[in-house]
Chain A
Amino acid sequence: QKEVEQDPGPLSVPEGAIVSLNCTYSNSAFQYFMWYRQYSRKGPELLMYTYSSGNKEDGRFTAQVDKSSKYISLFIRDSQPSDSATYLCAMSAYYGNNRLAFGKGNQVVVIP
């Protein structure tokens, strides 16, 4: 079983819809959870960062972490064509160990 599972299937939504992305993981030691957005031929850009369980909201983006289920989610409200990108989940175990475990990434296409 891989440490982080993220269904890489492409996701197409109409503009204005809610995009829902998720990852599951197996390592209970993970405490830091990140979502990155990557545009084609660019490096990943940090979108959201959460420590331990709970929700975090930043504008149209909401990140959720459920450590009991080993499940994290990213929601994008009122999606825009500019949100079309690949979204990567990433996580790490503890402070000082900056090594990240990544999901495969979800390609999201927002159709105008």
Chain B
Amino acid sequence: GAVVSQHPSRVICKSGTSVKIECRSLDFQATTMFWYRQFPKQSLMLMATSNEGSKATYEQGVEKDKFLINHASLTLSTLTVTSAHPEDSSFYICSAPLTGKNIQYFGAGTRLSVL
């Protein structure tokens, strides 16, 4: 079946550094991908919609300069957490809709811990 690959699965970094998370659609192309953040025992919170060939669309309250999104190709979107701080520690998940169907497949998630 359709698979979305997300890398890395775990990141521990020092405060002030930048962290890049990759999301790849395998076996299908995705002109749109989605980035979510999930706090413990909470549902997924949509951060932004990544659009291939154009700027990402950010949800209200999400800092564009803090969370840089680049959709470089039809199979790859990246989320860069810039100048990370402890409050950015969270579980980040990407998803991509299968071509021709209105369903989304999710990556395995990235657990970010900022010290």
Q: Which residues of A contact B (CB under 8 A)?
A: 32, 34, 36, 41-46, 49, 88, 90, 92, 94-100, 102-105, 107
Contact flag A32-B44 (CB < 8 Å), given A41-B109, A42-B109, A99-B49: no
Could you list which residues of chain B lie within 8 angstroms of chain A, going by C-beta atoms?
Answer: 4, 6, 32, 34, 41-44, 46, 49, 91, 93, 95, 97, 102-109, 111
* Contacting pair A41 B44 (CB below 8 A): no
Task: List residues of chain B with CB within 8 A of the CB of A98.
Answer: 32, 34, 97, 102, 104
Taking a contact as CB atoms under 8 Å apart, the answer to whether B106 and A94 are in contact is no
Chain A contact surface mostly: loop
Q: Which residues of B contact A49 (CB under 8 A)?
A: 103
A43 touches B102 (CB 8 A): no
Task: Give the residue of B4, B32, B44, B111 whose beta carbon is less than 8 angstroms from that of A102.
Answer: B44
Are B44 and A46 touching (Cβ within 8 A)?
A: no
Q: Is the CB of B43 within 8 A of A99?
A: no
Q: List 19 A-B contacts (CB under 8 A).
A: A41-B109, A42-B109, A43-B6, A43-B95, A43-B106, A43-B108, A44-B44, A44-B106, A45-B106, A46-B106, A49-B103, A88-B43, A95-B102, A97-B102, A98-B97, A99-B49, A100-B34, A102-B43, A105-B43
